[in-house]
Chain A
Amino acid sequence: MEVNDVFEKVKSLFVDELGIDESKISMEAKLEEDLEIDSLGIVEVVMAFEDEFGIEIDDDELADVKTVGEAVNLLHSKI
């Protein structure tokens, strides 16, 4: 799967599952500041990623993930 395909899947997860406004979602968008995904929301995002991509993500892998792009790259590396 190409990086752009992962991004598109992440985008549709955010829109359909979390109700985030599509126009706000870009590779540069910050999860907390731009998309209003707080600490509780991050756990939801991880669960959604795990279900969608059939992978497991440890909490410490996420420690440095602050933007959509960083999340997409992490997912891309694990698929």
Chain B
Amino acid sequence: MPEQPIPEQDPVVTKSYALHYVLAMVILMATLFWALWDEALGQRPWKAFQNEWKQRYTAFLDKTQPKSQSEVKGVQTTPEYQQLDQVYEQANAAAKPRKEELQKQITNLSAQILAVQNVFTDRRAYVNALNYQMETDTSASGKASKRKEIDDYKQKPASVEFPDGHKEQYNYAQLEEKYNALKDERTKLNAELGDVLKPVTAASTAMSAYINEHMVDLTPSQLEGLIKKTKEWDPKIVQINVAEANIVDRCESCHMGIREPLKLTAASMSAKGAKKPDEYANAFVSHPEPELLKMHDPDKFGCSPCHQGNGRATTSEEKAHGNYEHWLWPMYPKENAEAGCQTCHSADMVLISGEVGWTISEGKDLFRQKGCMGCHRYEGYDKEPEDLNTVSQQIKQLEQAKKDNIKEAADLMKQADTAASNEEANQLNDKAVALKIANSKMDGRIQQLDFQSHSLLQDTKKVGPNLKDVRLKLNKNWIPVWLKKPTDFRPTTKMPNFRLSDHQIQAISAFIWQSAFTDALPKQKPGNAEHGKELFETRGCLACHSIGEGDQMQGGTFAANLSREGEKANYDYLVRWIHNARQRTRPYCPLEKKDIGPEDYAKKGLPYQWDLEHSQCPNDGHELQVQNMTVMPSLRLPVEDTQDIASFLMTQKHQEPSAYADASYMDDPKLRDEGKKWVRHYGCAGCHEISGFEDEGRIGTELTYEGSKPIERLDFALFTEAAQRGTTEPITDKEDLQRLPDGPAKGPWYDHKGFFEHKLAEPNVYDKGKTKSETEALRMPNLHLNQEQIRALTTFLLGSEENSLPSNYQYKPGDARRDIQDGWWVVKKYNCMGCHQFIPGQKTVLMGLPQYRENPEQLPPKLLTEGARVDPEWLRRFLSNPSLSETDTNRNGVRPYLKVRMPTFSFSANEQRKLVRFFQALSQQAMPYVPEPVPTLTAKETEMARSLFSSTAAPCLKCHATGDPQHDKIATAPNFLLAKERLKPDWAERWVLDPQAISPGTSMPSGLFRRDHGQWVFAGPTPPSFQGYEKDHSKLLVDYIFQLTPEEQRRVAASMGRPQASNRAPTIRKPTTTAASGGSR
């Protein structure tokens, strides 16, 4: 039974629920209001942003206004403005009396018009309505009666009361007439008023135009407009909608300041008194790169194609930025923002615009230079081997088809001989003839393919050296030591650390050693190491190579550091290598897949001779690989110089080569097969040419779309939880920890960035804790990258995404910009930027060396406007042979006075064409180039020009080389005789007028000519023959130079005597800039 006492009243009937209801009601109402708030604001955080924006931006603009006003005042005090002001005042005063009179008349007329109009429009409406009835009436009598009604109505007079009080009676026609007459009158008066005010308006427009032109910031009226716009802003979603690309980006709903015309910083957008910028201030800044926005109009490109994130989301910052579990395209972190460039610019090797693009360009370059593409396929990288393969396949097919055709033709002929009728015999013969013709067509095609493969073979390069030459090239005992850990021997090497076991090292070295060539090398005389050192430091080796270790290191990182070269290298081979690195020991036939030796040539009775001109295989007649696949060029040094440099390099060592432990096991044939297995396993052939591995495929995964792999497909292995929670940092090795761009993990890093960065810092990190056999363990070696390099590569990989943008968003231009795109691949391939400057602000390796800081005129020329300067055909010739001579090759063709040497890169026809077009396109030159004819000078003009040419005020030949060896030693500028073929005349004229504008820092003086009454006149004294000469003196000089003959030059030089101390610029005006760079031009 219930313990409680039984109540008196029935609780079911009497119990009150009032309190329950009140409580429930109150809570329900509260929830209702909560729901309303959530609907209006909670789910729309951008509203808070926009309200905050209105306040802060207005405050910011208010603060800017006085500044702008004072600036305007500054502008207004200038005499030019005062003058404009005066003009305005005068015009105003002159127009005033007539203006006032006209305005009074117009006001008066307007009132009259209004009075007439009121009556007139009312009556017209009535007439129109009646008219419609008449028109639509079906009976003739009805029409007639309506017409009568209209006419009667029109006759009825109407009374118009004018503003001055008097009344007039008008019938309909009169009323209409009066109305039109009044309006005509007003139009006439208005036109007159416009005429009267014209000078006034013009003057005031000129004043505001003057202010606009002379203001750095926005003018007060522009600011006023912004303030008004901001104040009247009604919070709403700001959206970019590009239907064709399916872009819907609402980012600007919070980031209101992105496109504002003023530079907004987080500090300037902070609330008053705030110490640190809050989330609002950070959101309101303007885009850091307005230049980029100009190129990529947000109305076309939106935001998310570059930055990723969820452009449609507006409910929270995490959602909008895509930083939540289920969004597949989270926004790129700030430091990897350039990954977005890759979305459309994957075909560009260099993507630099001002401050932007250096990281992603570095990433692309690293991917190539570090040999990543040796193991990982990536669309567009290292295409040559694939193309070569296709070409070889085609050649094979065509050859087979040819054979079949010959057989069939013979067969047909035989059939024709035994044919029953003449007709049939003719038919069969015709068929046989057709097959023969088909064969000859195929011959043509094969020739084309051979030509292509000639270029492709020349263009194919390997990141690492040719290992077929190890026996000739290396200290045998050094090889295992190197394989153990390359960075121990050479900390900056490209060769990564493979974590090999001792047994693997032995096997690999044995295989490499035993599979290498054993041909004999010519013995070389020892050279002069002292001289070699000087050559090494001055010929430009340091643009790619470095020397010295640690802090002492000098030179470029593009190629090997040579500090311990003496321990590993064989002197005889080194001499050959420096003399011409491309020289192979034996040619390689890609069709037969074997190295061709003298015996193959002997069989065919051919001399054992092969080079780029003799590159046909003696066996199958197709192209041979006749060069080492290295980018190392030939510096065209005489053998003695090469010996000197090699001798110098042989002195670079920490220990004697003989000090290395004996490695005679490398001759053990038993190790050979095992070594072969490991060489294949580790994909050594990705970077090196190895006997038997010439066609080896890549061992790594393709990375073209690595960035869009779902995170679940990236194997964090035992560190999945650690990455998701950010609990432990898996990398424990101190060196590897330092590679992490953001240091050890501080928070969760379960994303692509975290995965890539950890993997690049310590590739086998995800093997940690797992038990794996030798063959299962990760093969990817440690590339010993630094933080910046990892950041760049991560940026590159993050951007490697498959995207849903339409294909026309891809940057694949068909015009000259395409040439620029293609050209960069070649420029970066050969490290041209180690010596030459291509982009303003770009530093070359040589610029950083102390020997050039003192003598900037010894730097290689800048190529900022090379395309505008030189004749493209000349440039092609120059690139194929920079000495510009078949016999005298130990020199620079254009600048013999430079110690640094423009090397012969042995570019293929394909790459020559790409480079030439690149330079032309970079300077916006039209292709093809048709040189403009240079007018022949009369004898008088020649005389005058000569006087300019040899003027003591500007003695051209003092600095420019003349071909006289004595003089050329001190010359600092190219020989004029080259100009005719090399230069474009219009450029040459611009150049003599103002060299500093074209190449800042050049020692060629500016101010040689001055502008005088629309004519360029020589700034120095001119002989009397110039009296009355009306053409430009500069043009005269350039025309003369383009017609200069060697005899003429000798004559002039002789008449001038030998000038001394040519390092000084001529005396007219010293170049004002003292930039630390710039070859002379």
A and B, one complex? no
